[in-house]
Amino acid sequence: MAAPIVAIVGRPNVGKSTIFNRMAGERIAIVEDMPGVTRDRLYASAEWLNYDFRMIDTGGIEIGDAPFLAEIRGQVELALDEADVIVMVVSGREGLTEADEVVAKMLYKTDKPVVLAVNKVDNPEMRNDIYDFYALGLGDPFPVSGSHGIGLGDLLDEVVKHFPDEAAEQEDEAIRFSIIGRPNVGKSSIVNAMLGEKRVIVSDIEGTTRDAIDTRFVTPDGDEFVMVDTAGMRKRGKIYENTEKYSVMRAMKAIDDSNVILMVLDAEAGIREQDKHVAGFAHDAGRAMIIVVNKWDAIEKDDHTMSDFENLIRDEFKFLDYAPIVFVSAKTGQRLDRLPQLVKDVDDNHRKRIGSSTLNDVIMDAIAINPTPSDNGRRLRVYYATQVAVQPPTFVIFVNDVELMHFSYERFLENKIREAFDFTGTPIKLIVRARK
């Protein structure tokens, strides 16, 4: 399930971000209709041949005012901890430097595959300059030009050769979810309280190193869950661990690996920009989502407090209007027992399929109540709708002219679909297509 991770390392200015952006292509485009939501350039998904993978630009992690060596060490440690394959970048323009040797030395310790990319080889004549880099002892150097997009195909061919065997992955019925949120909102406390429930049977998943951080449990009703990236919450004392970017990257990775996301907010501390950033990523990724407001024990309450907080959340996270909100306390255990069932329900909704005839009845009824818009005397005609995918549920609506479908009418149809079927907790996608 988890896609392989490629980390890009190297001293500053060799072109790591340039290569990262080039490989990610349009996959890191910013979604505009969500204020406050930007994708982090530290982490992105990418594709080569038949492989989906994720990339980390370790240069994107800035470790405060750490001295140069500590900064590089933190970045390389991050790569060693997270990646399946490491790409070390050097610069063919500047040639071999002492700092390159420092990075290479840190990589000797690992048995993870390292691929060496010599960047800024912008023209064929410069290819002769790459031989010096054999001295790094990291095998054949691959000449590339990040800014011109040259040689990246050969580099990626080499990278994907080292990906773990797909065949090793097995089908799994368990519901995969993760608990994300800023530091200190109470993620670990919730995990411990959920897994500490005596009626839950827990086992760590055997297998690759990366799988070992997932925790499997079975409830008394026999529902199987995998809590993704449980160990990501444990503080391991690494130099990069306390940076905000790392915590965002961690969350993005967990989101990619899960179907359902529990986004934890802190009732005491309120909502922050970083919460929105991570929530936006989960929404874009099409995951099912539950908003968990923790530390409910810690605030003064009257009979408005809960609905006020709910309104605040709806206001701040407009794009998550489908996500249920639960108010819990990891400290007292209040309402935590509801979480497994809720995860199961939204997971069901996330993979729900609606038959075409029922769906079309709903759409035609909707059109009867609220006629389609028209423009310059031409009226939108809706012919037919059908569900084409799950996780998230995705519907194609065939019309006479795509231009005539307005955002507000699309929104109206989505609302009608949501009224007719229970899609609580899941985004749904509408795709409008012209039929001739």
Residues at the contact surface with ligand GDP, assessed by CB under 6 A: 10, 12-18, 59, 119-120, 122, 145-148, 181, 183-189, 233, 294-295, 297-298, 329-331
State the nearest-atom distance from the C-beta of 22 to ligand GDP, in Å: 9
Answer for the pair 248, 276: CB distance below 8 angstroms, yes or no.
no
Residue closer to ligand GDP by CB (options 183, 373) is 183
Q: Using alpha carbons, list the distances in angstroms from residue 186 to 223, 234, 334.
A: 25, 12, 14
Residue closer to ligand GDP by CB (options 16, 277) is 16
Tokens matching residue 229? 């990236």
State the nearest-atom distance from the C-beta of 98 to ligand GDP, in Å: 16
State the nearest-atom distance from the C-beta of 179 to ligand GDP, in Å: 8
Peptide bond into 392 cis (omega under 30): yes
Question: Of 383, 430, 396, 389, nearest to 410 (Cα)?
Answer: 430
> Binding site for GTP: which residues?
10-17, 57-61, 119-122, 181-188, 229-233, 294-297
State the nearest-atom distance from the C-beta of 91 to ligand GDP, in Å: 8
Residue closer to ligand GDP by CB (options 291, 405) is 291
Q: Which residue has the tokens 């990366």?
A: 210
Residue closer to ligand GDP by CB (options 61, 233) is 233
Question: Of 267, 337, 336, 272, nearest to 295 (Cα)?
Answer: 267
Residue closer to ligand GDP by CB (options 232, 393) is 232
Residue closer to ligand GDP by CB (options 334, 400) is 334
Residue closer to ligand GDP by CB (options 59, 340) is 59
3 state SS of 181: coil
Number of other residues whose CB lies within 10 A of the CB of residue 350 = 24
DSSP-assigned states of every residue in 405-430: --HHHHHHHHHHHHHHS--TT---EE
Tokens matching residue 94? 């500047």
Residue closer to ligand GDP by CB (options 233, 428) is 233
State the nearest-atom distance from the C-beta of 99 to ligand GDP, in Å: 11
Residue 38, judged by CB atoms within 10 A of its CB (0-12, 13-18, 19+), counts as middle
State the nearest-atom distance from the C-beta of 242 to ligand GDP, in Å: 11
> Binding site: which residues?
10-17, 57-61, 119-122, 181-188, 229-233, 294-297
State the nearest-atom distance from the C-beta of 121 to ligand GDP, in Å: 7
Region of 358 please: left (phi>0), alpha (psi -120 to 50) or beta. alpha
State the nearest-atom distance from the C-beta of 276 to ligand GDP, in Å: 17
- Cα-trace Rg, the chain: 24
Distance CA(41)–CA(64), nearest Å, equals: 18
Residue closer to ligand GDP by CB (options 148, 238) is 148
Strand order in the sheet with 51-57: 43-48, 51-57, 5-9, 85-91, 114-119, 141-143
> Which residues, 6 or more positions from 1, have their beta carbon under 8 angstroms from its beta carbon?
169, 172, 176, 257
Distance CA(133)–CA(96), nearest Å, equals: 6
Strands 224-227 and 5-9: unpaired
DSSP-assigned states of every residue in 193-231: HHHH-TT-EEEEPPSSTTGGG-EEEE-TT--EEEETTGG
State the nearest-atom distance from the C-beta of 51 to ligand GDP, in Å: 23
